[in-house]
């Protein structure tokens, strides 16, 4: 009987899963270290990669199997880092390590070295928290301002125009003109506000605000460009779906990087945006009925 067979079937599966996880993590952290431009972060990531490799070696003593990193998983985390930023992906890895701690607790009675691994994993969490210093996180407030304002203002404007104009091409044109003008106005206003507060990076903050606003405008107008001219209600429903999706994605990002609760923020932001859209739609309907507006 091998050492692996001396343990329960559940324990064997856990050991193999943990070994694979440690092998993957070692490769991921090593890749992150190569991409990090901060020397301190690079050193910490390399140390964590070495620790993860050591943990994998511990599990190998019990499984007697030589596992390789999951290349697809390593590539996926590298891709996420390039798109969503270093902090977001590192926080995801931290959450994954917490799951690992919960699983490791189940093996305490069968494997004595588990205690040491748990201590290392907890130390990793603190190291990860301490090392997070990404430039883009300094401008989360600016991005929130741009996204929130665009969602509320443009959702309301486009919803209000939908029943009045009843023509997707005209609605899209009105939304684009309004959106671009509002983007420039919001970016300029944020720049002046940041300058008044003495922020030396006022221009950069205003760029983040403007980009967040403009991207939101493009996403909201897109359904009216894609649907046939007469399918304005379908475009409106699609736009509402995009609003909820954008709110979900952005709030999930903030919840991860800021370690904040997700659902309260998501429900609050969704409720505000959808309420404004509904009120604006009703105002547009009332205006059409009261003033007999017909642009068809």
User: In terms of domains, do 142 and 282 share one?
Assistant: yes
Q: Which domain holds residue 223?
A: 137-291
H runs (alpha helix) in 132-167: 140-165
Picking from 151, 152, 95, the residue whose alpha carbon sits closest to that of residue 124 is 95
Q: Going residue by residue through the chain, which has 296 residues, state the pLDDT in tens, using 9 for 90 and above.
A: 455 666 777 778 888 988 998 899 899 989 988 888 878 888 888 888 888 898 899 889 888 899 999 999 999 999 998 888 777 887 888 777 666 666 666 677 777 777 777 677 767 766 766 666 666 677 777 788 788 888 888 988 998 888 888 999 999 999 999 999 999 999 999 899 889 988 888 999 899 999 999 999 999 999 999 999 999 999 999 999 999 999 999 888 888 888 788 999 899 989 988 898 889 888 888 887 887 766 65
> Is residue 257 assigned to a domain?
yes
Residues 84 and 142 reside in one and the same domain: no
CA distance readout (Å), 165 to 30, 168, 276, 294, 296: 56, 8, 19, 7, 7
Last residue of a domain, one of 116, 133, 150: 133
pTM of the model: 0.79
Mark which of 92, 114, 133 sits at the end of a domain.
Answer: 133
112 and 145 in a single domain? The answer is no
Domain assignment present for residue 76? The answer is yes
Q: Do residues 254 and 140 make contact, with C-beta atoms less than 8 angstroms apart?
A: yes
Domain membership of residue 296 (yes or no) is no
Q: Does residue 129 lie within any of the structural domains?
A: yes
Q: What is the pLDDT of residue 1?
A: 47
Residues 288, 164: contact at Cβ < 8 Å? Answer: yes
């Amino acid at each position: 009987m091998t050492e692996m067979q001396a343990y329960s079937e559940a324990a064997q599966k856990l050991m193999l899963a943990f070994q694979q996880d440690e092998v993957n993590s070692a490769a991921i952290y090593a890749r992150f270290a190569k991409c990090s431009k901060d020397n301190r972060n690079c050193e910490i990531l390399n140390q964590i990669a070495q620790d993860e490799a050591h943990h994998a070696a511990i599990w190998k003593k019990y499984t007697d199997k030589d596992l390789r990193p999951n290349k697809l998983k390593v590539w996926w985390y590298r891709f996420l880092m390039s798109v969503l930023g270093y902090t977001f992906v590192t926080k995801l890895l931290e959450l994954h390590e917490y799951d690992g701690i919960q699983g490791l607790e189940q093996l305490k009675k069968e494997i004595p070295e588990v205690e040491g691994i748990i201590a290392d994993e907890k130390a990793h969490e603190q190291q990860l928290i301490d090392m997070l210093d990404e430039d883009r996180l300094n401008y989360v407030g600016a991005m929130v301002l741009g996204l929130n304002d665009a969602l509320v203002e443009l959702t309301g404007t486009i919803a209000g125009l939908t029943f009045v104009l009843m023509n997707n091409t005209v609605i899209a044109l009105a939304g684009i003109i309004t959106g671009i003008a509002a983007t420039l106005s919001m970016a300029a206003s944020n720049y002046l506000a940041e300058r008044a507060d003495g922020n030396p990076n006022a221009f950069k903050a205003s760029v983040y605000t403007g980009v967040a606003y403009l991207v939101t405008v493009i996403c909201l107008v897109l359904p009216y460009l894609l649907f046939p001219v007469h399918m304005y209600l379908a475009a409106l429903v699609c736009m509402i779906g995009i609003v909820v999706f954008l709110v979900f994605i952005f709030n999930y990002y903030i919840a991860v990087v800021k370690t904040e609760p997700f659902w309260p923020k998501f429900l609050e932001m969704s409720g505000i945006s959808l309420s404004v859209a509904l009120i604006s739609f009703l105002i547009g309907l009332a205006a059409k009925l009261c003033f007999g507006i017909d642009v068809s």
